[in-house]
Amino acid sequence: MTALICGSLAYDTVMVFEGRFREHILADRLHMLNVSFLAPQMRRNFGGCAGNIAYNLKLLGGDGLIMATVGHDFLPYQSWLQERGIALEQVRSIAAEFTAQAYITTDLDDNQITAFHPGAMNHAHLNRVEQAAGVRLGVVAPDGRQGMIEHAAQFAAAGIPFLFDPGQGLPMYNGEELRAFITQANWVAVNDYEASMLSERTGWSPGEIAARVEALIITRGGAGSWIYATGTRHEIPPARPQRVADPTGCGDAYRAGLLYGLQRGVDWPGTGRIASLAGAIKIEHHGTQQHSYDWAEFALRFRDNFGYAL
């Protein structure tokens, strides 16, 4: 079951501030904010939600196809994905643009400040879902504003079930637009902060959102996650990371686990645990695509974390 993953491909420049933002940002001076953070550590990684989800889904043994728009500087990233067997035939190049770029600064508490240049991502609406043959499952992840709107409508019109994952793109939409996304989607995945914003903007509580979809998934960081499905709130425990290196991309790894479970017909408690472990493995490594494992390793860690075999 091929999943068409509509979302961004981006370069991530990640810097580490060896302090805490809260010690330098004064609450009573936010109207005149002027701060600079010295970041001795810096890495440039391949990222973007579609790329990260597809990379993690490939590690799990799932089948993903990226639909995205990229710029004239994409070649190094293209080579990386092709070497890992990730399909790119639905990736469109926009010659006059840069590939999307994220500049992320992380502090010692794992808080993040991000500046994002969308570049070619703004042309995401040029891609159309019907251009991808053989797709039976979809994802609408953070992407160009119009692209997300049109891809959701195209999945719904084609009768292709899809996961709505607004992520950091959520603030672009008003309540009416978000209600339309939810009404069209089969599943919705957000973190706990995004869940609060989604409820505030739509006027729908988590229970009301869950009643409109097959499942509402809310990730809660180190506290695990909740999956609301068929009138039940499944409590998904967190998997134990061996170390905590970098939280960037953990949500995308979790979503890859959701897709894998949906592709394989795993029940929600099992799917949530697969997703939880995928996120925990990612957090052990710097970058969003620098970790690697095979299924035997993953299955062993699953049993160690959750007490039963996949």
CATH code of the domain covering residue 263:
3.40.1190.20
User: How many C-beta atoms lie closer than 10 Å to residue 31's C-beta?
Assistant: 5
Residue 50 and residue 7 in contact, taking contact as beta carbons nearer than 8 Å? yes
Does any domain span residue 189? yes
Contacts of 275 (CB under 8 A, 6+ apart): 217, 225, 236, 253, 254, 255, 256, 257, 258, 261
CA distances for 263 relative to 54, 64, 119, 151, 298, angstroms: 13, 10, 32, 20, 17
Contacts of 23 (CB under 8 A, 6+ apart): none
pLDDT at 28 over 80: no
Confidence (pLDDT) at 85: 96
Closest CA to 43 of 239, 246, 207: 246
Q: What is the mean pLDDT of residues 135-145?
A: 97
| DSSP state string for 175-227 | HHHHHHHHHH-SEEEEEHHHHHHHHHHH---HHHHHTTSSEEEEE-GGG-EEE
Alpha-carbon distance 142 to 144, whole Å?
7
Confidence (pLDDT) at 35: 83
Does any domain span residue 25? no
Does any domain span residue 38? no
Alpha-carbon distance 158 to 139, whole Å?
14
pLDDT band at 299 (very low <50, low <70, confident <90, very high): very high
Does any domain span residue 180? yes
Does any domain span residue 104? no
Three-state DSSP class for residue 67: strand
pLDDT in tens, 157-173: 999 999 999 998 999 99
Greater confidence (30 vs 120) lies with 120
Confidence (pLDDT) at 44: 87
Q: What is the DSSP letter of 294?
A: -
pLDDT in tens, 240-295: 999 998 888 999 999 999 999 999 999 999 999 999 999 999 999 988 999 999 99
| Domain count for the chain | 1
Q: What is the mean pLDDT of residues 179-185?
A: 98
Does any domain span residue 110? no
pLDDT at 225 over 80: yes
Contacts of 199 (CB under 8 A, 6+ apart): 205, 206, 209
Confidence (pLDDT) at 247: 87
pLDDT band at 31 (very low <50, low <70, confident <90, very high): confident
Closest CA to 145 of 45, 6, 253: 6
In this prediction the pTM is 0.92
The domain of 198 spans 2-7+49-91+122-306
Q: What is the mean pLDDT of residues 42-46?
A: 89
DSSP E strands in the chain: the ranges are: 2-6, 10-16, 41-47, 64-70, 87-93, 100-106, 112-117, 135-140, 162-164, 187-191, 215-219, 225-229, 232-236
